[in-house]
Every structure is written in C-alpha cells, then in structure tokens.
Amino acid sequence: MNELSRSGSIRKLWVADTAAFRDHLMRLDPQTRRNRFGMAAGDDFVRRYAETSFALDTLIHGIFIGGDLVGVGELRSLGRSRSDAEAAFSVETDWQGRGFGSKLMERVLLAARNRRIEKLYMNCLASNGQMQRLARRHGAELEYEGGDVVGIVVPQTPSPASWLREAVRDGYGWASAVVDMQKKAMPAKLFGRAH
C-alpha cells in the first residue's frame, strides 16, 4: 500500500479549488517553481497564473494528502490547434520521489487520449532531469532546443474502455472531494481528530 492509497486521493480540480491550486504553487521551493515554469517566477506571477488557469482551456488533476493539494498535472490546450496540448507538472519537495509524478502523468495522458489530443508537449529546462525521466518513462521523444527540452508524446486513440476509466475515476474523485468537504465542515471530534 502506498502513501496515496492510505491517506490521499487524486482527482480533477474545479474552479472551487483555485485557492488550493494557488497555495500549492506558492509553496513550491524556488528550484521546483523554476522547474515548473521554466523560469524564475515571482509570487505575483504565480497568483495570476493560478487565478486564470481555470478560465482557460485547462484540465488539472491534483494529488491531495490529508486534505492538502501537494501535486498537480495540467493539460492545457495550445490554442492554435485543438489537437495539440501541453502538459505541466509540479510536486512539492517533501512529496517528490514517491511516484506521484507518474500517477499525475497517467491521468493527464488518459485525459489527452479521451480528448483526441494528437501531440502532447512537455517543456522543461535542460537541467530538469526528473521531468525528462518522467517523460521518457511514458514514451516521450525528447528534443533539445538551446537550454530547454521538449518532450513529445502521441497519446493512443480513445476507446470505450478509456472513456469508462476516466468516468469512473471522475466519479470516485467527486465522491472523495465531497467527503473531504464534509470532514472540514464537521467538528473535528467526529472524525477522531484532536482540536
């Protein structure tokens, strides 16, 4: 049993999760934040990014541990073509090295597949070895462009089984989110937590 199955969940984020998404990005240490955005990103930039992400054609999966959002995988349409999208990932430092990036990548790839994305791009700094390994493990071809690396994945075509898998995961994610909201609204003693 891994850490996620014991005390956490993974689900799509909703606009109601904007504050949790922002707080997750704000907690990233400087190197992780630089790896996520491909540049030094100040607090104002991160706040604006989080506030506009749900207004754009973006689908975000999050990993919640103990009610806190600790990692995200984003699928963002590139706009110029409905068949191209970009994937981006971030996992807080204390939670790295536990396979959460792979779990997020699996969700993003399934979502891309079911939306008929033909090419999924992952941009990262040449120094971001973790992202490059993650991309390679999931079949990406890496192209080196100056100080950056672009990983390109061609998702499989959708099938009834892939649509069902996403629908079941969405249903489970929705149910676990409702339970989490109820836990926050109820007195802590009902759930065996001390004040």
Over residues 41-55, the pLDDT tens digits come to 999 999 999 999 987
Enclosing domain of residue 168: 3-190
Domain-embedded: residue 123: yes
Domain-embedded: residue 195: no
Alpha-helical runs (H) found in the chain: 3-7, 18-27, 30-37, 43-53, 100-114, 129-137, 160-185
Domain-embedded: residue 43: yes
- d(C-alpha 18, C-alpha 51), whole Å: 6
Domain-embedded: residue 73: yes
- d(C-alpha 73, C-alpha 110), whole Å: 12
Domain-embedded: residue 97: yes
> What angle separates helix 43-53 from helix 30-37, to the nearest 10 degrees?
50
Structural domain count of the chain: 1
Query: Which CATH number covers residue 100?
Result: 3.40.630.30
| pTM attached to this predicted model | 0.85
Band (pLDDT 50/70/90 cuts) for residue 30 is: very high
Select from 92, 96, 76 the least CA-distant residue to 84. 76
Domain-embedded: residue 20: yes
